Amino acid sequence: MKKTTLFLNLIITSSLLLSSSLIAKEVPLDRVAVVVNNGVVLESEINDLVKTVKIKAKKENQSLPSDKALRVQATDKLINDSLLLQLGERMGVQVSDAQLDETITNMAKENNLTIEQFRQTIVDDGLDYEKYRENIRGEIISGEVRRASLSRRIYIPPQEIKNLLEVMKKQTNMNTEYHLGHILIVFPADPTQKDIVDAKTRADKVIELLKNGSNFAKIAIASSSDANALKGGDFGWKTINEMPTLFAELVDGKAKDTILGPIRTGLGYSIVKVIDIRGKKVVEIEEVNARHILIKPTIILSDAKAKAKLQGFLDDIKAGKAKFADLAKEYSEGPTSVKGGELGWTDPNNYDPAFKDALAKLKIDEYSEPFKSSFGWHIAQLEGRRMLDATQQMDQKRAYQMLYRRKFTTENYRWMKETRDEAHIEILGQDN
């Protein structure tokens, strides 16, 4: 009996020692900071976003408000993100790993980095690359949900487009772009007169601080309810026609560093800063004129035979024994055969990547060697290249986009506010 008791005591003691060891090494569990419908925002997510904003600010030598103000803005953004992702799940919006990889590869290219170098910069900043990658997936989904939801709410009548085109023809400043900063002091839902007066008082205080030299981005992060608050209120580069009408009337002709407002809108009071001014960049696109002969492999016609057949055509064309157009009409598969393989003037980005790459290597009137695309085997001839001024070619499309963007900002805020009002949002531990 004594031996049994001793044995049990040893087991208990060993267990306690083991438990003590485990407790000493235990990592605190992540805390739920906000409940959003059937989802949550974790404390670690808020901390990660605050950390990311701080890293970006340090790189850009940008001052920031207090950690408390940063946390409020980060929490607010993550609540919106959670709602958008939940909507995306209900709508069936998905982003595959292949789509995500393509997006990140393009981000790396924009920074003149390889994907490995891009990944290393994320790690060097002290961020978890896999978390960063999933955040990008979430941003893509959120963007798709936002666009799909708002496209149903924004209607641009043809007459509005026509009217804007007429205005644009008469404007002398249509090629001037303004880089704007925006701070929104928002009204609460169903504001009383006191709410409106209080918002105006806050807006006047912001104007006073800015005119006395306070940093615009820092105040935007601390005070703005605009979607771009965590980006320092950056409203982007816009022509007069792309701005909300109230902004356009005030900004037109103003000098750099001008502070405008408070501007009362249906959402609250806006404060706008003219950060910079530039001439509008002329957007040029390259078009290529090409023709091709397409042979599709079959069970009977192997890849090797299809390639050899095209090589024979190419040899005959170069030797003057046959004409490209005649061979295309007789042997090419697809709708262009009746036109002698002519593809016409086209943006090369519209082609299969292999076809685009083959044309990129050719000089005018030069023939390609046989190559394979997702459609089959080709030989191609580049007949011409030209650059088009897309700003002149696409006036109607530009007018539509200007009107859409003008309405998008206001409608986006209203839609997001409605979405939040309908949601169950519980911020936990506010007193801690």
Q: Does 406 fall in a domain?
A: no
Q: How many other β-carbons are positioned within 10 Å of the β-carbon of residue 91?
A: 13
Q: Is 92 left (phi over 0), alpha (psi -120 to 50) or beta?
A: left
Residues 417, 407: Cα–Cα separation, whole Å:
16
Q: What one-character DSSP code corresponds to residue 319?
A: T
Q: Does 342 fall in a domain?
A: yes
- Are residues 289 and 263 both part of a single domain? no
Between CA 11 and CA 17, with CA 15 as vertex, the angle to 5 degrees is 120
CATH of the domain at 100: 1.10.4030.10
SS3 417: helix
Residue 265: closest CA among 154, 184, 197, 201: 184
pTM above 0.75, yes or no: no
Q: Report CA dihedral (143, 149, 151, 152) to the nearest 10 degrees.
A: 170
- Are residues 315 and 386 both part of a single domain? yes
Q: Which amino acid is at 16?
A: L
Q: Does 107 fall in a domain?
A: yes
Q: Which of 151, 182, 211 is the last residue of a domain?
A: 151
Give the pLDDT of residue 19: 37
- Are residues 146 and 38 both part of a single domain? yes
- Domain count for the chain: 3
Residues 306, 108: Cα–Cα separation, whole Å:
38
Range of the domain at 272: 173-281
Q: Along the 432 residues of the chain, how does pLDDT read in single tens digits? A: 444 333 333 333 333 333 333 334 444 567 999 999 999 999 999 998 998 888 888 888 888 888 888 999 999 999 999 999 999 999 888 888 888 998 999 898 888 889 999 999 989 888 889 989 999 999 999 988 998 898 888 888 989 888 888 777 666 556 688 999 999 998 988 889 999 999 999 999 999 999 888 999 999 998 898 888 888 999 988 888 788 888 888 888 888 999 998 999 888 999 999 999 987 666 677 899 999 999 999 999 999 999 999 999 999 999 999 999 999 999 999 889 999 999 999 989 889 889 999 999 999 999 999 999 988 999 999 999 998 766 555 677 778 888 888 888 888 888 998 999 999 999 987 544
Q: Does 217 fall in a domain?
A: yes
- Are residues 113 and 224 both part of a single domain? no
Q: Does 348 fall in a domain?
A: yes
Give the pLDDT of residue 2: 41
What distance, in Å, lies between the first and last C-alpha atoms of the chain? 53
- Are residues 213 and 290 both part of a single domain? no
Q: What one-character DSSP code corresponds to residue 373?
A: -
Q: Does 428 fall in a domain?
A: no
Q: Does 364 fall in a domain?
A: yes
Q: Does 346 fall in a domain?
A: yes
Strand partners, 428: none
- Are residues 294 and 330 both part of a single domain? yes
Q: What one-character DSSP code corresponds to residue 301?
A: S
- Are residues 57 and 133 both part of a single domain? yes
| Cα 180 from chain centroid (whole Å) | 19
Residues 346, 284: Cα–Cα separation, whole Å:
14
- Are residues 311 and 362 both part of a single domain? yes
CATH of the domain at 333: 3.10.50.40
Q: Which of 261, 281, 301 is the last residue of a domain?
A: 281
Query: Which tokens hold the place of 348?
Result: 């090369």
